[in-house]
Structure 1
Amino acid sequence: MTMHRQLPETHPPVVSAEQWEAARERLLVKEKAHSRARDALAAERRRMPWLAVEKAYAFIGPDGDLSLLDLFQGRRQLIVYHAFFQPGVGRWPEQACIGCSMVADQVAHPAHLNARDTSLAFVSRAPLADIERLKARMGWDHIPWYTLTDDFDADFGVDEWHATNAFIRDGDQVFRTYSTTGGRGDEQMGNTWNYLDITALGRQESWEDSPGGYPQTPPYDWWVWHDTGETEPDRE
């Protein structure tokens, strides 16, 4: 049975199609300005200084012990989200933090980040068996998720809150390039575009304002079907 709910008494006016289109065009001007401002902010992120990661960190994954470098999975960039899933948080051990769970629900298939030489990892203090159980029940099998075992969270300022950190590597040397913490920062994450916009290399598309020598390709050329990893080279 469908419930009928009344609209608020103070809703905007009902107008003609012409008036609606005019209002939409006025708003579009501001939306385009907002997009350009976001692009400029992402360009500034790509010029952020890098912080060398000198300490060795240890994680546990399905195949055993891993280092931070291992989480890159051979790719050049890494995005790490610290999710609160551990004893003493929320409805442990049945559920992860409700906010972190909502973030996980938004995460697009990592194949699209992988196509830009970027890996994604979630890390939590929960034992791996609990992580695997939670992923299977919640439909998060596409998210690489590891147990952190040391001070990684505290060293990057996320031991008492969730956060997203971006890293890049030069061979075996890892650098921290960006971090966002708190609800308003992390609520933007999950979307492939927003993830790439916080990385040192960005979307790596030819229209971006990036430092000289950064990898760039035409837009759309790197888009893939996540089940095969194939691109559509004939796309115009």
Structure 2
Amino acid sequence: MKPHSVVSQEEWQNAAKALLAKEKEHSRKGDEIARQRRELPWVKITQNYVFESTEGKVSLADLFDGRSQLFVYHFMFGPDWEEGCTGCSFLCDHVDGARQHFEHHDLSFVAVSRGPLEKLQEYRKRMGWKFRWVSSANTDFNYDFNVSFPAERVKDGKITYNLETIDAGEDTEELPGMSIFYKDENGEVYHTYSSFGRGGEAILGAYSFIDMTPKGRQENKNGNLMDWVKRHDRYEDDGRHAAKSCCGCNSESKAA
């Protein structure tokens, strides 16, 4: 750490009060952004997406599980992958604790990946997660929501991600994101919101703890925003399984 000033209690309190004013302003701006998010126009889902689940084939409407709102996390786990993305795993470590509350507030959660269901469930068991996870391997769901990319699109060098056209990396086949859906009383499903890249930080509680500390995140080494993160069962190994910069949720170039 850099040398830090040490002051009296009174001086600290004055500085903290000045920062508190900025923190309150930040909170009010966040409230306003949340309001505007709720007022976004919706898009009606007309495609009949069918997913593979532990209960058999299920539709997007089925995933609401009796509630009117659905949070879909686009988890990076490609068809030939042996384990899930480190950054996505970090985020999903935060889900079950919150889920036991928001499910009682009319919101369901599901992770969706193109990997085969058997691999998804095996990894889910390894991580100790309880949330629902389905495979979209036999649908265009991931492609339609611009979180998976066919080889020919990657080869062209340009893909659509985070609501803009970006350069595709050599290994860009899966990127992270979140999408929110609403189902009305007639069973019609609407897409209401999506967020990509660093948008996932909004639900990363570990960051909220770390951001309050003197050392902070200690990130951005070698251009990787999450170079310290590992899957939670790998913190004791030699570092070979740390997050890789190819993950869209780790790369500074896909921030915001």
Query: 1:87, 1:115 → 2: CA distance?
Result: 33
Q: Which amino acid aligns with 1:145?
A: W
Q: For residue 180 of structure 2, what is the amino acid of its counterpart?
A: A
Partner of 1:189: 203
Q: What is the match of residue 147 of structure 1? A: 135
Give the deviation of 1:112 after TM superposition. 1.3
Q: Which residue of 1 aligns with 2:42?
A: 50
Q: Distance in 1 between matches of 2:88 and 2:20?
A: 33
Tell me the CA shift for residue 17 of structure 1: 1.3
RMSD across aligned positions (CA): 1.4
Sequence identity (%): 41
Q: Deviations over 1:113-157 (max 9, x none)?
A: 11110101101112222111111111212x211111210011111
**Contact 2:63 2:70 survives alignment (8 Å):** yes
Secondary structure, aligned partner of 1:34: helix
SS at match of 2:67: coil
Shift of 1:189: 2.6
Instruction: Tell me by how many angstroms 1:87 deviates.
Output: 3.5
Offset at residue 47 of structure 1 (A) = 0.7
* Residues 1:176 and 2:199 aligned together: no
5+ residue gaps in structure 1? 1-7, 192-236
Q: Which residue of 1 aligns with 2:118?
A: 129
Contact 1:113 1:120 survives alignment (8 Å) = no
Given the alignment of the two structures, is residue 36 of structure 1 paired with residue 28 of structure 2, yes or no?
Answer: yes
Q: Give the alignment's TM-score, normalised by structure 2.
A: 0.66
Aligned equivalents of 1:25 and 1:111: distance in 2? 35
TM-score normalised according to structure 1 size? 0.71
The answer for the alignment partner of 1:26 in structure 2 is 18
Tell me the CA shift for residue 103 of structure 1: 1.2
Select the structure with the greater relative contact order (CA < 8 A; seq sep ≥ 6): 1
Q: Distance in 1 between matches of 2:3 and 2:19?
A: 18
Q: Does 1:113 align with 2:133?
A: no
Q: Aligned to 1:115, what secondary structure does the other structure show?
A: helix
**Letter of the 1:134 counterpart:** Y
Instruction: Measure the CA separation in 1 of the matches of 2:67 and 2:104.
Output: 10
Q: Which amino acid aligns with 1:189?
A: I
Q: CA deviation at 1:190?
A: 5.2
Deviates more, 1:51-60 or 1:127-136: 127-136
Structure 2 residues not aligned, in runs of 5+: 149-173, 206-256
Indicate whether 1:68 and 2:60 are aligned: yes
Cα shift at 1:86: 2.1
